[in-house]
Amino acid sequence: MKNNNIPPMPSALFCMQCGHKVSHKVPAGDHHVRAVCPQCATIHYDNPKCVVGTITQFEGKILLCRRDIEPARGLWTLPAGFLECNETLAQGAWRETFEEACAQTDLIEPVYALVDIPHISQIHVFFRATLKENPHGAMFAAGEETQEARLFAIKDIPWDEVAFRSVRWALEAFIQDSAHGVFATRHHILAATQTI
């Protein structure tokens, strides 16, 4: 985990335009260290990444995936992954659920859970969704990066094996709201002292 007191250095070592080795410095008029190319003057900006996923339900159960990749290989998570360029949040969440759990879903708007994780420069976004029935076969299965996909009743969620704090928070929020049947969009900030 990164120390929040140390600003992250720019990730680029070479210019993405001309391939020259970059310098790490604060450009004129800026306040952050950037990767600046001394040859073509291109400034490379590092910005947060967005993870999108779903809390997919079927008959009161929640779809979880046991990860087959690091980090947190072997632990359970909501189907989620990095948003791709040119995707909407909803498109990314749908795609990730399909890729990780081979599950077709109907997403519920608006966004349900937003988690700021500034110390790792990520934003995690979860939609609620319902699992579509598949008349031709299984409704879900393990995708490429998943060991196992399974529907869990709320009482059976394996809390000791849940992968990420953002997922744990989103699940807890969802379970609290399920008790009342009212789902307003929620927002949470994960502190730097906590693991992801």
Residue 25 CB, shortest distance to Zn ion, in Å, is: 14
Identity at 157, one-letter amino acid code: I
Q: Does 129 bind Zn ion (CB under 5 A)?
A: no
Query: Under DSSP, is residue 135 helix (H, G, I), strand (E, B) or coil?
Result: coil
Which residue number, 14 or 82, has a Cβ lying nearer to Zn ion? 14
Q: Does 15 bind Zn ion (CB under 5 A)?
A: yes
Residue 14 CB, shortest distance to Zn ion, in Å, is: 8
Which residue number, 37 or 115, has a Cβ lying nearer to Zn ion? 37
Q: Does 23 bind Zn ion (CB under 5 A)?
A: no
Strand pairing partners for 137?
none
Q: Which residues of 115-125 are buried (b: 16+ CB within 10 A; e: fewer)?
A: bebebeebbbb
Q: Phi, psi at residue 56, to the nearest 5°?
A: -95, 130
Q: Does 20 bind Zn ion (CB under 5 A)?
A: yes
State the maximum Cα–Cα separation within the chain, in Å, rounded to a whole number: 61
Q: Using CB under 5 A, which residues numbered 37 to 76 contact Zn ion?
A: 37, 39-40, 42
Q: Which of 1, 9, 13, 18 binds Zn ion (CB under 5 A)?
A: 18
Kindly provide the residue ranges of all beta strands, DSSP E only, lying in the chain, ordered along the sequence: 23-25, 34-36, 43-44, 49-58, 61-67, 76-77, 80-82, 105-117, 122-131, 146-153, 186-189
Tell me the site size for Zn ion, rule CB under 5 A: 8
* Segment interacting with Zn ion, rule: CB under 5 A, options 7-15, 24-32, 65-73, 100-108: 7-15
Q: Does 173 bind Zn ion (CB under 5 A)?
A: no
Residues that bind Zn ion (CB under 5 A): 15, 17-18, 20, 37, 39-40, 42
